[in-house]
């Protein structure tokens, strides 16, 4: 089967389309013929985190397709069923943190940028009927992360105000749509004027440029919750506008791993600083129910052919995208 892999030295230069063996499904597994796959920033990080002598790996965490083969002990699923893939492996029940054997699909094991994937049946769910193949293929990782960050960890309630820095991100666009569906007031930031305009069209109440003075721009706002993945580039600005007793949930470190915190401001501000990552199967099902109820559709940035996976990753790396980038496997 055709697959887009990374091997050898770190970097996009060492990714290529090649032929990889199809894997027979074992007990409790199914093989999916992928129609579409979705990019996440993690596909870029993975190019720099693997050891040079690790075997070639198929990149990609998100995907949607059709069941093509079924292993033993698989019930309630038929060849031909249309499904999406939940890339959160070995984390079934909602809990404070994932179990020790938690893994994300696509590094260290083979991922979705391929014609087929063999995966535990517990990691597939029916494709939402109201979504296209492109929308279904980009949904899982970002929507699951956004759902747990907003509701399990952030405990967002209707009428609260939430701030989402870096609205161009795939996860951030889900955060915006989900928070609005939950009845919250939503403020977003972006480095790009154009992305601010797009966010307003999608329902954001206020959009401000990342390099503006946030305190001045948000002087009349009472921000209850911040959901951040940008990190150091906006951290101090973000904390300066959080209301006393408010909560900041972080799930990413796009601009660096370390931030400075003024401890006096932290304790006088009575802030709650929380971390989150992906989510469990239980939250994945809750997320699907929530988006179905509110008919939320992923914001699609651009669709690339599988053969152009490198160009797709380059687009994400340059940061000009708004929402999710999709790969189409229509060979």
Ligand X SMILES: NC(=O)c1ccc[n+]([C@@H]2O[C@H](COP(=O)([O-])OP(=O)(O)OC[C@H]3O[C@@H](n4cnc5c(N)ncnc54)[C@H](OP(=O)(O)O)[C@@H]3O)[C@@H](O)[C@H]2O)c1
Q: List interacting residues with ligand X (CB under 6 A).
A: 40-42, 45, 141-142, 145, 166-171, 190-192, 195, 210, 229-230, 233-234, 251-255, 277-278, 316, 319
Does residue 160 contact residue 224 with C-beta atoms inside 8 Å?
yes
The CB-of-239 to ligand X minimum distance in angstroms stands at 15
How far apart are the C-alpha atoms of 298 and 87, rounded to whole Å? 17
Q: Reduced to 3 states, what is the DSSP secondary structure of residue 211? A: coil
The CB-of-40 to ligand X minimum distance in angstroms stands at 4
Q: Give the HSE-up count for residue 205: Cα atoms under 13 Å, Cβ half-sphere.
A: 18
- Paired tokens of 194: 């154009």
The CB-of-188 to ligand X minimum distance in angstroms stands at 8
* CB nearer ligand X, residue 67 or residue 296: 296
* CB nearer ligand X, residue 66 or residue 233: 233
Query: Tokens 């993945």 — which residue?
Result: 229
The CB-of-38 to ligand X minimum distance in angstroms stands at 9
* CB nearer ligand X, residue 66 or residue 273: 273
The CB-of-219 to ligand X minimum distance in angstroms stands at 21
DSSP-assigned letter for residue 114: B
DSSP-assigned letter for residue 112: S
The CB-of-210 to ligand X minimum distance in angstroms stands at 5
- Paired tokens of 223: 């921000």
Q: Judging by beta carbons within 10 Å of its beta carbon (0-12, 13-18, 19+), is residue 310 exposed, middle or buried? A: middle
Does residue 251 contact residue 171 with C-beta atoms inside 8 Å?
yes
* CB nearer ligand X, residue 4 or residue 251: 251
The CB-of-71 to ligand X minimum distance in angstroms stands at 28
Closest by CA position to 244, among listed 267, 260, 262: 267
- Paired tokens of 66: 């059709």
- Which single residue brings its beta carbon nearest to ligand X? 252
How far apart are the C-alpha atoms of 41 and 181, rounded to whole Å? 25
* CB nearer ligand X, residue 31 or residue 153: 153
* CB nearer ligand X, residue 247 or residue 277: 277
How far apart are the C-alpha atoms of 274 and 265, rounded to whole Å? 16
* CB nearer ligand X, residue 224 or residue 283: 283
């Amino acid at each position: 089967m055709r697959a887009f892999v990374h091997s050898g030295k770190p970097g996009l230069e060492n990714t290529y389309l090649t032929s990889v063996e199809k894997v027979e499904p074992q007990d409790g597994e199914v093989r999916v013929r992928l129609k579409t796959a979705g990019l996440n920033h993690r596909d870029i990080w993975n190019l720099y985190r693997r050891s040079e002598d690790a075997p070639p790996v198929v990149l990609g965490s998100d995907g949607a397709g059709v069941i093509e083969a079924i292993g033993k002990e698989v019930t309630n699923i038929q060849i031909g069923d249309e499904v999406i893939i939940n890339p959160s492996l070995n984390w079934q029940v909602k809990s404070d943190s994932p179990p020790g054997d938690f893994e994300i699909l696509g590094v260290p094991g083979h991922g979705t940028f391929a014609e087929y994937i063999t995966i535990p049946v517990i990691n597939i769910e029916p494709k939402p009927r109201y979504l296209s193949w492109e929308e279904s293929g980009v949904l899982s990782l970002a929507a699951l992360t956004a759902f747990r960050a907003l509701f399990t960890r952030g405990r967002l309630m209707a009428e609260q105000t939430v701030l989402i820095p870096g609205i161009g991100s795939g996860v951030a666009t889900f955060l915006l749509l989900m928070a609005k569906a939950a009845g919250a007031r939503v403020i977003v930031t972006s480095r790009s004027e154009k992305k601010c305009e797009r966010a307003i069209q999608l329902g954001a109440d206020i959009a401000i440029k990342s390099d503006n003075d946030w305190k001045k721009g948000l002087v009349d706002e009472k921000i209850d919750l911040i959901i951040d993945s940008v990190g150091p580039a906006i951290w101090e600005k973000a904390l300066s506008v959080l209301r006393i007793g408010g909560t900041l949930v972080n799930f990413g470190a796009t601009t660096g791993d370390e931030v400075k915190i003024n401890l006096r401001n932290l304790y006088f501000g009575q802030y709650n600083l929380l971390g989150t990552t992906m989510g469990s199967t239980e939250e994945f099902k809750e997320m699907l129910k929530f988006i179905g109820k509110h008919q939320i559709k992923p914001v699609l940035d651009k669709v690339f052919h599988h053969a152009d996976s490198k160009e797709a990753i380059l687009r994400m790396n340059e940061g000009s995208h708004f929402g999710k980038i999709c790969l189409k496997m229509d060979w």
